[in-house]
Amino acid sequence: MISTELLKGSLKSIVLKLLAENGRMYGYDITRRVEELTAGKIKLTYGALYPVLHKLEVEGSVTTESENYNNRTRIYYKLTPKGNNFAVEKIKELEEYMEVMSMLLKPNIQSGLIGS
């Protein structure tokens, strides 16, 4: 299980990535998909997820469709064209962040040997 502290700031990007890939999803679905894709190492909390989804809706990045399945309400979220552009941008940013972080993480031979 990954310390959720690290997840801070990337939740929105993850949600956008999943929506861009899966067309439309509902909240509960998103948490399960993340769990599945990360082999159970990331478990989203609803207290974090729903505010993000609502905010994306207010921003005009997603539209919602409420459907009934076995007497349970599902609220599907789907990217708008604007949301899709935003998703592309955020995913690119996250990928760049990952690259930069790997620069920081790799053993730094300069400072470790030559620089001292």
Partner DNA sequence: TATAATATATAAGAATCTGATATATCAAGA
Partner DNA sequence: TCTTGATATATCAGATTCTTATATATTATA
Tell me if 68 contacts a copy of itself by CB under 8 A: no
Size of residue set near a copy of itself by CB under 8 A? 39
Query: Which of positions 50-109 make contact with DNA (CB under 7 A)?
Result: 50-55, 69-75
C-alpha distance from residue 33 to each of 59, 62, 110 (Å):
24, 18, 41
95 binds, among DNA, a copy of itself, none (CB under 5 to 8 A by kind): a copy of itself
C-alpha 60/C-alpha 82 separation (Å) is 7
C-alpha 73/C-alpha 68 separation (Å) is 5
Of the pair 11, 109, the CB lying nearest DNA is at 11
User: Strand, helix or coil at 9?
Assistant: coil
Of the pair 32, 41, the CB lying nearest DNA is at 32
